[in-house]
Amino acid sequence: MIEFFAPAKLNLYLHVTGKREDGYHLLDSLFCFASIGDNIKVSRSNEISLEIEGAFSGELQDCSNNSIIKAANLLKEKYGVSSGAKIVLEKNLPIASGIGGGSADAAATLLALNELWELGLATQELEDIALKIGADVPACLYRDALQVAGIGEKITKLGAMPQCYVLLVNPLKAVSTPAVFKNRVGDFSKEMPLDKVPDNINDLIDVLSIRQNDLYEAALSLETEIADVIKMISDTKGCLLSRMSGSGATCFGLYQNIDDVERALEQIISKKPEWWVENGYFL
Ligand code: C5P
């Protein structure tokens, strides 16, 4: 049995810089990955099959369209693999939540099956198949901080994040990514890519504070509770920045001290027990 972690993906900033003729948007974004995520286990089998367990398994009923099955089939076809795989997903991340759950699951499936089927592919060689599954999937093959452009396929590795702690909060309201992109109005933003990640949290906050998430207003108009999430995070002691990730509704808070992030977690859980709240660090 081979196991791969499928970490939550965070967009520390996300600029929409243009639109392609096929309707996909061009992005400029700093991606990083958290210690909070799903888990993929694969083992030998004749057929490709998927079982889903974990806190959010109930919300993923239609497996036929699942990004995991798509990843397995695409890899099998491209490399003429004759065997199948029993795949088990532990679904810990909320669905349609802006932290790449489905993309991370597909990417971890490609990484795990590359080992199970002994294909010996370098991670970069999985990027083409990953992009066929979704725009964020190629980036989710990695664990480093990434500068991402194009629709998600232009990836520059920036190395490790500075040490800091992250709080993730989702009001458990699913937000549709296509609907958010469709709802976006206004001019396109400038590309402001980083060539390295600042090596301390204060410098990171400085570079993030002159960038933003361009999908925030569009997501907020679909799900007004996102504003309450941001406010509740930013009101906690020691929070250096709070922002929505991706197309929402998950928002994150960044903290320098572990005590502050743990206290923030407890406070928000006690005020909003119906929300999803987790703390962790960057990989
Ligand atoms: O590629 P993925 O399935 O994650 O994208 C879902 C939808 O989000 C796309 O069909 C498109 O409407 C929108 N999208 C976009 N530009 C991107 C990524 C996604 O317009 N870069």
What percent of the chain is modeled with pLDDT above 90?
96
Nearest protein Cα to ligand 1, atom 10: 178
- In ligand 1, the atom with minimum distance to the C-alpha of 23 is 20
Same domain, 168 and 276: yes
Same domain, 15 and 70: yes
Same domain, 163 and 74: no
Instruction: Supply the pLDDT for residue 150.
Output: 98
Q: Which residues contact 193 (CB under 8 A, 6 or more apart)?
A: 28, 147, 149, 156
Distance from C-alpha of 93 to C-alpha of 51, rounded to nearest angstrom: 16
Same domain, 261 and 198: yes
Smallest Cα–Cα separation from 126: which of 144, 143, 107? Answer: 107
Same domain, 134 and 262: no
Pocket test for ligand 1, best of 24, 132, 148, 175 (most atoms within 8 A of CB): 24
Same domain, 40 and 141: yes
Same domain, 118 and 195: no
281 lines ligand 1 (CB under 6 A): no
CB 278 within 8 A of CB 2: no
Q: Of 98, 131, 158, which residue is a domain's last?
A: 158
Residue span of the structural domain in which 148 resides: 2-158
Distance from C-alpha of 24 to C-alpha of 176, rounded to nearest angstrom: 15
Q: Of 139, 158, 177, which residue is a domain's last?
A: 158
DSSP 265: H
- Specify the number of domains making up the chain: 2
DSSP 272: -
Cis peptide before 249 (omega within 30 of 0): yes
Catalytic residue flag (residue 196) = no
Residue 5: band (very low, low, confident or very high) from pLDDT cuts 50, 70, 90:
very high
Residue 61: band (very low, low, confident or very high) from pLDDT cuts 50, 70, 90:
low
Catalytic residue among 28, 136, 144, 260: 136
177-231 residue pLDDT tens: 999 999 999 999 999 999 999 999 999 999 999 999 999 999 999 999 999 999 9
Q: What CATH number did the domain enclosing 139 receive?
A: 3.30.230.10
Same domain, 276 and 223: yes
Same domain, 153 and 163: no
Distance from C-alpha of 237 to C-alpha of 65, rounded to nearest angstrom: 42
235-281 residue pLDDT tens: 999 999 999 999 999 999 999 999 999 999 999 999 999 999 999 99
| pTM: predicted TM-score of the whole model, two decimal places | 0.96
Q: Of 138, 158, 178, which residue is a domain's last?
A: 158
Instruction: Supply the pLDDT for residue 59.
Output: 79
Same domain, 37 and 131: yes
Same domain, 121 and 7: yes
In this structure, what token pair is assigned to residue 4?
């791969």
